[in-house]
Amino acid sequence: MRAFVFPGQGAQTIGMGKALADAYPAAKAVFEEVNESLGEDLSGLIWGGDIEELTLTANAQPALMATSMAVMRALEAEGVTIEAASFVAGHSLGEYSALAAAGAITLADTARLLRARGLAMQDAVPVGVGAMAAILGLDLAAVKQVAAEAAQAEVCQAANDNDPAQVVVSGHKAAVERAVEIAKAKGAKRALLLPVSAPFHCSLMQPAADAMARALADVKITDPKVPVVANVLAQAEADGAQIRGLLEQQITGAVRWRESVMYMAAQGVTDVYEIGAGKALSGMVKRIDRGLTTTAVGTPESVVAVAAAMNK
């Protein structure tokens, strides 16, 4: 069994998806449709802009989704459809890419939702008030204890359970800084603040969750062609009506990536394909379950190779 997984923020690079757009008209059409839906030349920024501007949350989110969808269109041109996967899943914003790939939300609506999501998440907390930190070498239970100890009447929560040795905390800056020191004292291999613009996936994001509830209310969400393993559930959901609420919860809820991968493996998944920019999820998947085979698909060459293997 196969799973297609879709990367989240941090995977963005200048030039991502350009070779695919040059090689596949259907991939180029993805970027053109995203440009049109947003009313701007996002592909120009992706392919020839400034990395700091691309990294802004409101740009990175639709840009990464567009790149993932360009890979999907290239795969389709080579005869591989989304139904080749038994499950799809995405890391944070990647869940929107997964839903678009599975046909639950149109490409144009997904781009507009992610622009709204990025702006809402950026605006939810003033710059400098919140922070996130990666804790390496402690498991989820230990990091939850660290966060609780560090909170001291502020917000500090486990936000991303990425793999057995990497959990990210999010919340008020001072609380997150305390968590870094407490984690080091408790034996973390490393604990470091992340270069992010807001404290994602914690209760400070409630204003963004409210904004997304309004944005999602205006969008048609249908049942996905392939079950989506939702971040907040760490299990599959195939009901479009339920997915709307899960996307709202995802803004303040933890990204349960480790459990999501374990769930897919328990259902019989053996091969995981990372669809889009970078290889970050492939590394996490291998650390979660070494028995899983991972393949990053983000270039024309990788598309051709994967299609040849699947079409045998």
The domain tally of the chain equals 2
Q: Are the beta carbons of 133 and 194 closer than 8 angstroms? A: yes
- Domain shared by 113 and 37, yes or no: yes
- Which CATH number fits the domain that encloses residue 137? 3.30.70.250
Here the tokens at position 73 are 């269109």
- What is the rounded end-to-end Cα distance, in angstroms, of the chain? 15
Catalytic annotation, pick one of 201, 260, 282, 302: 201
- What predicted TM-score, i.e. pTM, was given to this entire model? 0.96
Catalytic annotation, pick one of 37, 43, 68, 92: 92
Query: What is the spatial distance between Cα 56 and Cα 42, in angstroms, rounded to a whole number?
Result: 12
Query: Which candidate, 145, 159, 169, places its Cα nearest to that of 254?
Result: 159
Q: Are the beta carbons of 8 and 64 closer than 8 angstroms? A: yes
- Domain shared by 191 and 53, yes or no: no
Residue 139: which domain range? Answer: 130-196
- Domain shared by 18 and 90, yes or no: yes
- Widest pairwise Cα distance in the chain: 58
- Domain shared by 242 and 293, yes or no: yes
- Domain shared by 143 and 69, yes or no: no
The pairing of beta strand 271-275 with beta strand 2-6 = parallel
Q: Catalytic site residue 92?
A: yes
Query: Which candidate, 94, 36, 39, 50, places its Cα nearest to that of 69?
Result: 94
- Domain shared by 176 and 214, yes or no: no
- Which CATH number fits the domain that encloses residue 263? 3.40.366.10
Q: Could you tell me which residues come within 8 angstroms of residue 80 by beta carbon, excluding any fewer than 6 positions away?
A: 306, 307, 310, 311
Q: Catalytic site residue 172?
A: no
- Domain shared by 79 and 17, yes or no: yes
Query: What is the spatial distance between Cα 197 and Cα 126, in angstroms, rounded to a whole number?
Result: 9
pLDDT tens digits in sequence order for the chain, 312 residues long: 999 999 999 899 999 999 999 999 999 999 999 999 999 999 999 999 999 999 888 999 999 999 999 999 999 999 999 999 999 999 999 999 999 999 999 999 999 999 999 999 989 999 889 999 999 999 999 999 999 999 999 999 999 999 999 999 999 999 999 999 999 999 999 999 998 878 999 999 999 999 999 999 999 999 999 999 999 999 999 999 999 999 999 999 999 999 999 999 999 999 999 999 999 999 999 999 999 999 999 999 999 999 999 988
